[in-house]
Amino acid sequence: MLGVSSGAGAGAALALISFGVSSAFGVGAFAFVGAALATTAVVIIAGGGAHPLKLILSGLAVGFGAQSLTNLVIFSSGSPETNQAVMFWMLGSLSRARWSTIGIVCVAAVIVMLVLSFYGPILDALASGDSTARSVGVEPVRTRALLLLGVSAAVAIAVSAAGGIGFVGLIIPHVMRQLVGYSHRVLVVASGLASAVFLVWADAFARIVFSPQELPIGVITGLIGAPCLALIVRNQKNQM
């Protein structure tokens, strides 16, 4: 929703099609730059993320723009094989993952989880509303912008290594919130570990069930995540 995956996809498409980059590191570097530019654009358009709705709308605008750029690059390409590689990457896949990239992703994930867990009380205050956050000495606009930049950088690193794998960050935190409670100090770590386990099982399913072909892992997470998200939204509506 914040345009990070779309920005990374545009960067990967430019690397594979326009610049002829074939190495996993090169494609990942282009994807990271695209994701970073998309995040920066969202923060600038949203005015630092002062209002969540404005932030989401800015992310949608940047995401649609990046997706249009990706479609333009694919349309202008004359290589069906390259186009297929781009589409496979955009749907999410761990086939390009290497130990060198895994190390970078793991370090980034651990750092982000530790930092967010340390700032758990601040996240709890922000979740209670801006007025509550200000009453305990938290500046909502600046804090939200800094957290957004940090998390988006970590997301950019993950997307550059594995492509756009959707719904994991939407579904798992909702599920874990019901299991471990609403304290972000615990919720952040639990969601990170549960997301990793879910992703491993989804990847194994995509590789084994459809062998010898490998189904993009984003298809599996989408098929599972879409109905789960709809069920969560419906349950929350009934509780209101």
Helix (H) or strand (E) holding 183: none
Region of 167 (left: φ > 0; alpha: ψ -120 to 50; beta: rest) is: left
Residue 218 pLDDT greater than 80, yes or no? yes
Residue 239 pLDDT greater than 60, yes or no? no
Q: Domains along the chain?
A: 1-91 (no CATH), 99-237 (1.10.3470.10)
- Calpha distance 131→88 (Å, rounded): 45
Provide the pLDDT for residue 207: 84
The radius of gyration computed from the CA coordinates of the chain, to the nearest angstrom, equals 18
Residue 231 pLDDT greater than 60, yes or no? yes
Tens-digit pLDDT profile for residues 79-98: 777 777 777 777 777 776 77
Which distant-in-sequence residues (6+ apart) come within 8 Å of 43 by Cβ?
49, 145, 148, 149
**Helices and strands: H and E segment counts in the chain:** 11, 0
Provide the pLDDT for residue 194: 92
Tens-digit pLDDT profile for residues 128-176: 887 888 888 888 878 877 887 777 777 777 777 777 787 888 888 888 9
- Calpha distance 159→165 (Å, rounded): 8
Q: Pick the closest to residue 166 from 199, 190, 193 (CA basis).
A: 199
Token pair listed for 227 = 């109905």
Which distant-in-sequence residues (6+ apart) come within 8 Å of 6 by Cβ?
38, 62, 63, 64, 65, 66, 67, 70, 164
> What value does the mean pLDDT of the chain take?
81
Tens-digit pLDDT profile for residues 49-87: 557 778 788 888 998 999 899 888 888 877 777 777 777
Please say whether the beta carbons of 11 and 30 come within 8 A: yes
Token pair listed for 147 = 């957290």
Token pair listed for 214 = 């490998």
